[in-house]
Amino acid sequence: MARRFLASAWLLLLPTMATAAEPTVVSCQFEKMPPMILTFRGGMGADDNSLQVGQTKPVPMSVGSNLMTAAYGAQEFTFSLRLPANVSVSAPGQDTQTFYGECISSLQQ
């Protein structure tokens, strides 16, 4: 039960991230995927949020009221702000795949 809370509590923190002085870092591990780091600097609608997949260079991430999206080359990563934590990965000519996992925020005590 505690792990599920930690895995999804970061979703509740999005409204407060926009006013934070320091970036909020969320670390996610989804099944069959490399670790992902989501960095929120400006929150919803800002252009300085980013996603890093594994050891690759971070890319810009768009944060909306229901979804977060980022593009790595031809692949698009879409994070749902619903529980359980999940990411859908799509690419032209391929079926979209959804992966589930856990996320932990730097704002958690």
* Rounded Cα gap, residues 20 and 107, in angstroms: 10
Alpha carbon 71 to its chain's center: 12
Q: At 30, which helix (H) or strand (E)?
A: strand 24-30
Q: How much is the pLDDT for 92?
A: 96
What pLDDT is stored for residue 108 in this prediction? 58
Show me where the domains of the chain are located: 2-105
Contact by Cβ (8 Å): 67, 57: no
pLDDT at 87: 98
Residue for token pair 């593009």: 71
DSSP state, residue 42: S
2-105 has which fold?
Lipocalin (2.40.128)
Counting as low any pLDDT under 70, the low residues of the chain are 1-20, 108-109
Provide the pLDDT for residue 5: 38
The pLDDT of residue 12 is: 43
Q: Give the residue from 46, 40, 47 showing the smallest Cα distance to 21.
A: 40
In the prediction, which pLDDT does 15 show? 45
